[in-house]
Amino acid sequence: MDVADLLTSAGINISVCVVAFSLYSVLRKQPSNACVYFTRRYISEPIRHDDPFSLHRFVPSAGWIMQAWRATDEEILEAGGIDAVVFMRIVVLSIRIFIIAAVICVFLVLPVNYYGKDMEHKNFRFESIDVFTIGNVEEGSKWLWAHCLALYIITCAVCVLLYLEYKSITKMRLAHITGSHPNPSHFTVLVRGIPWSQDHSYSKSVESFFSTYYPDTYVDHQMIYRPSTVHKLKKDAKKMYRILRPVETEYVRGDKPCYLCGGTAHTFKLLQNGEDGIRSQTSIDELHPTQIEKECPAAFVFFKNRYAAVVAAQVLQSSNPMLWVTQLAPEPHDVYWSNLGIPYKQVWVRKIVVLLIALAFVFVFLFPVTLVQGLTHPHVLTRWFPQIKEVLKLQFLNRLVTGYLPSVILILFLYTVPPIMMLLSRIEGNVSRSDRKRSACIKVLYFTIWNVFFVNVLSGSFINQMSIFSQIKELPMMLAKQVPTQATFFTTYVLSSGWASLAFELIQLFALICNILRRFILRSKKEPTNIALTFPHHTEIPRLLLFGLLGFTLSILAPIILPFLLVYFFLAFLVYRNQILHVYVTKYESAGQFWPIVHNATIFSLVLTQVIAVAVLAMKKSPMASGCTIPLIIISLLFNEYCRKRFSQVFKRNPAQVLIEMDRRDEQWGKEEGIYNRLRSEYCQLAYISRDLTISKDFSVAGPNRQSSTDHNSPQGVNENSLKQGTHHIKLQK
């Protein structure tokens, strides 16, 4: 590929972005699209479609860009919580790193590569991309020290920026824990692997065990029932709506116990007799025999203080590690109820099965990747399809097929990966939605790094790709030979997968089509439901990290990718801020749990770059420069180990010192009783029934403390019960 081919691909993607951004600026002004582009405000306070017709609604504008640019971190925090702030910091970190890399490599390394050999250069438009890579430098040239120097500067910059970011996000996480209102998950422990007894129910076993071994701190517990039972009760509740309504309106807004989960098998019949009848039948110990059979060997156990819950969650409860397995409970809105009924003994089997399925999927995906690689080479393409030989003689079509089409086809195949990995993470048995999404994020990351980077670099037949594992010692030299030659493909991949994907993310194409079908084809006047989307961390974080990997590995080998990469990150900064402010709704909070994944992936990318650089410099017969690069690998690994010891533990466990101080503060302020009363109702397995039975739609969606807004274009935070409480107490580290 020459520069003209690359510019053709860039021109196509620039056109797509300009059209998509202009179209978005028009579509967002249409009142009928409020549920698509202002979802956060729409579910809190549906926007009326009574705006008068005006010409400005059909004229593209850049107002949304300025609004996204001016938004502060506090507004991002209010709209999307800690996870949204952390995600935007990943984007900002990438911008900072690659600005430094671009300045160093474009002005120092790129001229060295271009003039690395004594040769007559063509017109710039017809120059091959290969002349901008390290492959154009003479063997043994002293100018190879420029690559070593650039790598030292990039490594130092990355380590400093990662350390500052890790420290800042750790402080933010601790501030979220200490500054928010009492979180029920801090007082609750999830217990699985409860042993079966013929003498009494699981509920009796839980009460007996924890009242015996934790007599001073144990408060209460709540059993978990099979999903089929829950669905039946939900159906019964809908049938009894008219009977439940007078009673439900009195206690649904309070911090009173949930009588649905704690009642007998005849709960709904008792509701006919009034509220007094309900209150007299709230003991979970007096269960009907048929309901006892529907109990799962899992329960939520509530403790008097946070420290007691942490101790119970981290201590081995039994001599048999498969029984009485404890962990801190996820937040109420984060609980993935359908997986709580999975017997704990099945979890490790599920993990092994999921791992095998994921590996099989990786190997199956090698075939489309091999096909895509064939498209980048015209001689291979004509060998596969001889009939298109004449077509490829047309210069524009040749550039389109070999420069743009391969990356587009690969992107279409990759769109199938996140849903499959999310399904596998669900089968894996994760007990919280955030854990499921985090597990899917890791799977998608591994998958994309292997299939997009390694398989494309080590391209060839399926048998050749499998031979990598028998020649693992030769892998650095193979990467050193192949990575510079794949610079053109990766550059076009950044253009198509990066720029174009941001354009389609902004348009929200699927939601827009559904809205058009509902309004103009089906002619439905009913307001849409279930339109709230959570931020797709499992797709966007792996994409950012993959581009980071491409930027690191090609920074000194083929710096021509860096300007295109920087444009992607700047566009991502604007697009994602806009989407967080207006589209995505935060239903649960993991308090920055995705950051360790980002840190580890960045270190991996940096070390891989250094290993490839050592091999490349050795191939170029510059042993001194190659040897001087080896200390960078050791420094990076030591830095990663320091960060793991210094910061990562805070993301795995809550510090006892912080929890004890919070317990003492609650004791001084007399908050214990209010917290105890909330625990049982917060972890009600049938809590979503109350949303169906709620009289007010606003309350059912946004909770009693919802906010409102009068500005159609202003970012509107949606209060999801206690998930957002206390976020204003967090001091962002700028």
Instruction: Name the most confidently modeled range: 34-43, 261-270, 423-432, 725-734.
Output: 423-432
Provide the pLDDT for residue 565.
94
CA angle 657, 662, 663 (to 5 degrees): 100
Specify the pLDDT at position 463.
Answer: 42
Token couple for 332: 């109420």
What is the pLDDT, as a whole number, of residue 532? 79
CA–CA distance, 170 with 648 (Å, rounded to integer) = 8
Per-residue pLDDT of 584-640, as tens digits, reads: 988 888 888 999 999 999 999 999 999 999 999 998 888 899 999 999 999 999 999
From CA 472, how far away is CA 681, in angstroms rounded? Answer: 55
Report how far residue 260's alpha carbon sits from residue 251's, in angstroms, rounded to the nearest whole number: 12
Using pLDDT thresholds of 50, 70 and 90, give the confidence band for residue 243. Answer: low
The pLDDT of residue 129: 80
**Closest Cα to residue 503, out of 576, 408, 581?**
576
Which pLDDT belongs to residue 254?
43
Best CA proximity match to 146, nearest among 602, 629, 489: 629
Cα angle value 318/649/224 (rounded, 5°): 45
Query: Band of the pLDDT at 50, cuts 50, 70, 90?
Result: low
**C-alpha 78, offset from chain centre:** 18
Q: From the CA atom positions of the chain, what is the Rg in Å? A: 29
pLDDT of res. 467? 55
Q: Centre a 10 Å sphere on the Cβ of residue 209 and count the other Cβ atoms it contains.
A: 19
For the stretch 558-597, pLDDT in tens is 999 999 999 999 999 999 999 999 999 888 888 889 999 9
Inform me whether the pLDDT recorded for 35 exceeds 50.
Answer: yes
How far apart are the C-alpha atoms of 470 and 482, rounded to whole Å? 18
Whether 692 contacts 681, CB under 8 Å: no
Q: Tell me what the mean pLDDT of segment 464-483 comes to.
A: 70
Mean pLDDT of 348-372: 85
Tokens 């203080």 belong to residue: 305
**What average pLDDT score do residues 36-43 get?**
85
Percentage of the chain modeled with pLDDT above 90: 33
**Whether the predicted pLDDT of 274 surpasses 70:** no
pLDDT value at position 232? 60
Give the separation between CA 200 and CA 500, rounded to whole angstroms: 60
Average pLDDT for the chain: 78
Q: List, for residues 158-216, the tens digit of each pLDDT value.
A: 999 999 999 999 999 998 888 777 788 889 999 999 998 888 889 999 999 999 999 99
Two structure tokens written together for 598: 């980002």
Q: Contact at 8 Å (CB) between 478 and 468?
A: yes
Name beta bridge partners: 54: none
Structure tokens given for 540: 């966007």
- Alpha-carbon distance 411 to 426, whole Å? 24
pLDDT at 631: 94
Which percentage of the chain shows pLDDT scores above 70?
74
CA angle (188, 532, 227) in 5-degree steps: 50
Give the model's confidence band at 393: pLDDT under 50 very low, under 70 low, under 90 confident, else very high. low
DSSP annotation of 497: I
Q: Is the pLDDT assigned to residue 255 strictly greater than 80?
A: no
Predicted local confidence at residue 309, as pLDDT: 93
Q: How much is the pLDDT for 46?
A: 59
* Residue 438 near residue 594, CB atoms below 8 Å: yes
Residue 528 DSSP one-character state: P
Which segment, 21-25, 48-52, 514-518, 654-658, is predicted with the most confidence on average? 21-25
Q: Is the pLDDT of residue 293 over 50?
A: yes
Looking at 315-392, list the stretches that DSSP marks H as alpha helix, in order from N- to C-terminal side.
337-340, 344-364, 366-375, 378-384
CA distance 706 to 721: 8
pLDDT (0 to 100) of residue 374: 60
Beta carbons of 556 and 622 less than 8 angstroms apart: no
Q: Residue 473: pLDDT above 80?
A: no
Statement: residue 117 has pLDDT above 50:
yes
CA within 13 Å, CB half, 455: 25
pLDDT at residue 442 in the model = 94
Mean pLDDT check: name the lowest of 406-410, 457-461, 690-694: 690-694
Closest CA to 372 of 399, 417, 412, 415: 412
Q: Is the pLDDT of residue 478 over 50?
A: yes
How many CA atoms within 13 Å lie on the side-chain side of 329?
31
Model confidence pLDDT, tens digit, residues 678-729: 777 788 776 543 443 333 333 233 333 333 333 333 333 333 333 333 444 4
The per-residue pLDDT for range 61-113, each reduced to its tens digit, is 888 999 999 988 889 998 888 999 999 999 999 999 999 999 999 999 999 98
52 vs 524: which has the higher pLDDT? 524
